[in-house]
Amino acid sequence: MIVKSECRLADGFSIWEKIYAQSSFIAMGLIGTTGIILVDWIWVIPYIIIYWYGIPGIVMRHLNCPRCPHLYEYGDCLQASPMITKWLVKKRKTTPFSASEKFLFYAIFILIPTYPIYWLLSHPALLIAFIIAAVMWYSGQFLYFCRRCRVKECPFNRAKLINID
């Protein structure tokens, strides 16, 4: 049997965890989108595809959320309301990520904080706000949530697995 050590998230997420995760992620997307629009609006189209479709349309619908036990076993979701997430996720998956799924996953999560930087350089206040939001979200994920995650197939999962015979 495989057990995740120190998983306090199995019982659900606190309201503060949800506020932290959702507000930092939404702020990053809004600031990035705004910065691109202010400089050259046509370049916001790829960012809309990467961020505004990539997360709900690819990551939530096909990659992480269908494999997340928090949603199915505990009726909770960190990134969105469980009702919205269940509406997005049509069928549960238990298989590991394929090579193409891993590529999409990494591409989306690398492009979200890097793509808008060029356009944000001409607006230092927006750039600083964007960097703060990105650091908040990514550090919160990697240093807190990913270390306790039960989505064992997720490439970002940092939880230590203990093998108990």
Task: Locate the domains of the chain by residue range.
Answer: 2-163
To which residue do tokens 């349309």 refer? 57
- pLDDT of 2 above 60: no
Mean pLDDT of the chain: 86
Question: How confident is the model at residue 8, as a pLDDT?
Answer: 58
pTM: 0.83
Question: How confident is the model at residue 77, as a pLDDT?
Answer: 87
Question: How confident is the model at residue 3, as a pLDDT?
Answer: 45
pLDDT range class, residue 133, cuts 50, 70, 90: very high
Own/partner contacts of 153-157, CB < 8 Å, gap of 24 or more, are: 153/67, 153/95, 153/96, 153/97, 154/63, 154/64, 154/67, 154/97, 154/105, 155/97, 155/102, 155/105, 155/106, 156/109
83 versus 44: the higher-pLDDT residue is: 44
pLDDT range class, residue 14, cuts 50, 70, 90: confident
Tell me the pLDDT tens digit for each residue of 50-104.
998 999 889 998 898 888 888 888 888 888 888 888 888 888 888 888 999 999 9
Question: How confident is the model at residue 70, as a pLDDT?
Answer: 83
159 versus 82: the higher-pLDDT residue is: 82
